[in-house]
Amino acid sequence: MKSLGNVRRSFAPWAEPDSVAYIRFENVTKKFGDFVAVQNLSLDVYEREFFSLLGPSGCGKTTLLRMLAGFEEPTNGQIYLDGQPLKGVPPHKRPVNMMFQSYALFPHMSVEQNIAFGLKQEGMEKHAIGERVLQMLKLVKLEQFAKRKPHQLSGGQRQRVALARSVAKRPKLLLLDEPLGALDKKLREETQFELMDLQEELGLTFMIVTHDQEEAMTMSDRIAVMESGSIEQVGTPAEIYEAPSSRYVADFVGSVNLFEGTVETVDNETIQLNAVDGFKLEALCERPAVELPEKGITAWYSIRPEKISVSRTKPATSTNAIDGEVWDIAYLGDMTIFNVRLDSGKVIKASVLNATRIVEDPIGYDERVWLSFPANGGILLDR
């Protein structure tokens, strides 16, 4: 069986023709004065999905989230939640809860009171509130901190209180705005897995905004990569990484090498490309939805650093191989990154897994090396 990357869980309602979208953005546009934050955007998200909006700051991802929460109304278009149009429904009437980037914990209330706040608004019975709060405190492992005020907690603890507060009402949809942004790397990685477990445990739909691609890749079922108010690509982490739809997506998610070239021949699904760097490239067009490129157009062959091999000896075939000079070496522990300068002046990144502790005869600076890769190592992009 072949698969594009490894799959976290078998969950793919978007691939089934009869599944119904839980959240639907229909041609949504949002303008702030002259500034267009979201441009004619349509998107379907499914129940129980862990969905990430990924993009640089100012790409409109937070605006999308705020429109779902009800803090902003779309200028044009319609948003549906569970089949119901959301237009005109105030924030407090939406079955949606949000975890804020700043956490927005009420400073005058204890951890307990913060978590109970939403339940009280609901008019839940006092006894039931106490039970639910305890349950939430257990969930985020903060039982001993119930009586503390937010300012008496560490950043990580505050983040967990914010999370507990936002899931206490058992919303069907939880919105998370950069939930891990303020945490340090180690805590962030731990929390990512906690969030995933929580989502599965409570059976919620998560919609998360982040600018951290690694975070999005780790947690999401699907990712929408956004740029200036539009969605560039929606796909599983593997699709986004291994089959990006454009140079923008390829470049935004992970690191990538792009070879510009002219399409020379198109034979079945094998495409020959004349790279501007002075070598011949062969690519496979494997996506059925994408049309084969025409002869003579400019295209870009996008390949990830780990799919390029580095060797001193010239490979057997002359396609998909080019030589250059080692310009920089970065040893990262788990892998080594070689920056190889081609004769055209372009610097190519190639990463090599450090599978053994001891390297016999390592490649050094200023050495001439050959870079080679299989035809299906990269993907041909036309934009």
Where does this chain bind other proteins (CB under 8 A)? 69-71, 90-92, 96-98, 100-102, 104, 106-108, 117-118, 121-122, 149, 151-152, 165-166, 169
DSSP secondary-structure letter at 92? Answer: G
Distance CA 123, CA 156 (A): 30
Can you spell out the DSSP letters for 109-147? S-HHHHHHHHHHHTT--HHHHHHHHHHHHHHTT-GGGTT
Backbone angles phi, psi at 343, to 5 degrees: -65, -25
Burial 270-282 (b: 16+ CB within 10 A, else e): ebbbebebebbbb
Cβ proximity to other proteins, 140 vs 231, nearer residue: 140
Distance CA 158, CA 140 (A): 10
**187: three-class secondary structure by DSSP:** helix
Cβ proximity to other proteins, 11 vs 100, nearer residue: 100
Distance CA 213, CA 351 (A): 19
Distance CA 125, CA 132 (A): 11
Cβ proximity to other proteins, 152 vs 298, nearer residue: 152
Minimum distance between the CB of residue 141 and other proteins, rounded to whole angstroms?
22
Of 251, 253, 256, nearest to 349 (Cα)? 256
Cβ proximity to other proteins, 68 vs 379, nearer residue: 68
Minimum distance between the CB of residue 185 and other proteins, rounded to whole angstroms?
25
Q: Which amino acid is at 329?
A: I
Cβ proximity to other proteins, 114 vs 220, nearer residue: 114
Under a CB-based contact definition with an 8 Å cutoff, are residues 308 and 339 in contact?
no
Minimum distance between the CB of residue 98 and other proteins, rounded to whole angstroms?
5
Tokens of 113: 């009171």
DSSP secondary-structure letter at 54? Answer: E
Element spanning 118, H or E: helix 111-121
Cβ proximity to other proteins, 153 vs 225, nearer residue: 153
Minimum distance between the CB of residue 73 and other proteins, rounded to whole angstroms?
14
Tokens of 329: 């070496």
Minimum distance between the CB of residue 49 and other proteins, rounded to whole angstroms?
21
Cβ proximity to other proteins, 148 vs 341, nearer residue: 148
Under a CB-based contact definition with an 8 Å cutoff, are residues 342 and 370 in contact?
no
Minimum distance between the CB of residue 180 and other proteins, rounded to whole angstroms?
17
Minimum distance between the CB of residue 168 and other proteins, rounded to whole angstroms?
8
Minimum distance between the CB of residue 62 and other proteins, rounded to whole angstroms?
12
Angle, vertex CA 212, rays to CA 2 and CA 162, nearest 5: 115
Cβ proximity to other proteins, 81 vs 243, nearer residue: 81
Cβ proximity to other proteins, 12 vs 146, nearer residue: 146
Under a CB-based contact definition with an 8 Å cutoff, are residues 74 and 242 in contact?
no
Distance CA 153, CA 111 (A): 9
Minimum distance between the CB of residue 246 and other proteins, rounded to whole angstroms?
34
